[in-house]
Amino acid sequence: MAEHDPLRFATELSAKLATRSRHVCVFLGAGAARACGLPDIAQLQDRVLGRLSEDERGALNNQLAGRNLEEALSRLRRIAALITGDQTVDGLNAAQAKELDAIVCQAIVKELDIEAADLAPVCRLAAWAARAGYRLPIELFTVNYDLLLETALERLRVPYFDGFVGTLMARFHTELVEGIPGLDTESVPAFFVRLWKLHGSVNWAWQDERQIVRLGKPVAEGAAAAIYPSDTKYEESRRVPFVVLQDRLRRALHQPETLVIVAGYSFGDAHLNELLFDAAVRRERSEFVAFCYSEIPDALADRANTTPNLQVAGSREAILGGVRGNWKPPADAPAELWENDQLALRDFGKLAAYLARSAAREPEVDSVLRELVDGAMARRNASAGGDGNG
């Protein structure tokens, strides 16, 4: 079986990142949030169920049959919008479906509270974005609902644009999202990082049940967050942010000579997978690098085997240039690259640190990062020995 050199892989990635004329996109899944101490999608579903009453849990489990949490929320919204009077679906009338939607969203908001999260990984990513100095704006795409990325960017004073304009109840501006990077007519400056939350956010709220606004904090108790688009056609205006942002992803992936880094994503969304795979096939001079924390998903492996510019780096194996092989253990590799006989960069925390080191230094940013890392270490040490010191 073929073998791949992790040192060579890391060196070549550094060279790609060093090209300042590149258009660079980062696509993040739940694994990135998990690296900061938040639950992934499977853990989130279990924790949400644990917060519900027995009746609420039973009603949500009915919606979860054959579906994930996002699809269950979409179904609840479909029930609330399409049935009237005393009609019921799965034992729920419209008012009950709407109430359960709000209860589930509030449970999600509480479980994704970042008060005790380790911000060091996302702050390192923000540090890289602040220092990188690319000619075109960095675009961060995420399917996560939490506020980790916003918090990190603001903590490091990195200007960013997420499609909304305003402070108290920011409104979505389609025309600004659709601007093409690099054109003089683009309204948002290139040094603003673009942050695109494809599946909504805990601080997105419905206004008059027709329009989504971004609040300065998570939605209040009793309100439903705008998490994941409903797949119904009954009211296209309710889908505007989501369809516009997915189109932004499609167009960003098709920018010439784009470098796309994928981390913490399990490739479980067929629609998003196809956007990534289609761009890799059509844009042969672009490069796609996907990091998998453990096993390489079959859907990804099948495409990478026949798409040379789609590189996959797993824990113990990789698919590079269409060739699948094990990592060859390096003789003398730094811990941030290779640890416990596995590629360390598969972990979002290690990858973010690697990216941060790849960019120019800024004393102020370094100072913030040191404070965050020192604080995280202090909390970890206190947690490990707290009971024995009392």
Residue 232 has a pLDDT of: 47
Among 97, 46, 90, 87, residue whose Cα is nearest residue 68 = 46
User: Taking the domains of the chain in order of start, what are their residue ranges?
Assistant: 2-38+118-376, 42-111
Greater model confidence, 334 or 372: 334
Maximum average pLDDT range among 53-57, 187-191, 239-243, 359-363: 53-57
pLDDT tens-digit series, residues 102-114: 999 999 999 999 9
Residue 390 has a pLDDT of: 38
pLDDT band at 375, cuts 50/70/90?
Answer: low
Residue 42 has a pLDDT of: 86
CB 121 within 8 A of CB 36: yes
Residue 215 has a pLDDT of: 94
Q: Which two tokens stand for residue 235?
A: 């009211």
Q: How far apart are the first and last CA of the chain?
A: 55
293-320: average pLDDT: 97
pLDDT tens-digit series, residues 222-236: 777 888 765 544 454
Q: Which two tokens stand for residue 54?
A: 């027995």
10 φ, ψ to 5°? -65, -40
CATH ID of 2-38+118-376, from 3.40.50.800, 3.40.30.10, 3.40.50.1220, 1.10.287.3510: 3.40.50.1220
Instruction: Please say if the pLDDT value at position 120 is more than 90.
Output: yes
Instruction: Please say if the pLDDT value at position 364 is more than 60.
Output: no
Compute the distance between CA of residue 305 and CA of residue 308 in angstroms, rounded to an integer. 7
pLDDT tens-digit series, residues 313-332: 999 999 999 999 999 999 88
Q: Do you know the residue count of the chain?
A: 390
Lowest mean pLDDT among 26-30, 34-38, 162-166, 180-184: 180-184
Q: Are strands 258-263 and 23-28 parallel, antiparallel or unpaired?
A: parallel
Mean pLDDT of all residues belonging to the chain? 88
Residue type, 227: I
pTM: 0.89
pLDDT tens-digit series, residues 155-189: 999 999 999 999 889 999 998 998 776 665 667 88
Give the number of other CB atoms < 10 A from CB of residue 16.
14
Residue 230 has a pLDDT of: 57
Residue 74 has a pLDDT of: 87
Compute the distance between CA of residue 287 and CA of residue 3 in angstroms, rounded to an integer. 21
Q: Are strands 160-161 and 164-165 parallel, antiparallel or unpaired?
A: unpaired
Which residues are paired to 161 by β-bridges? 194
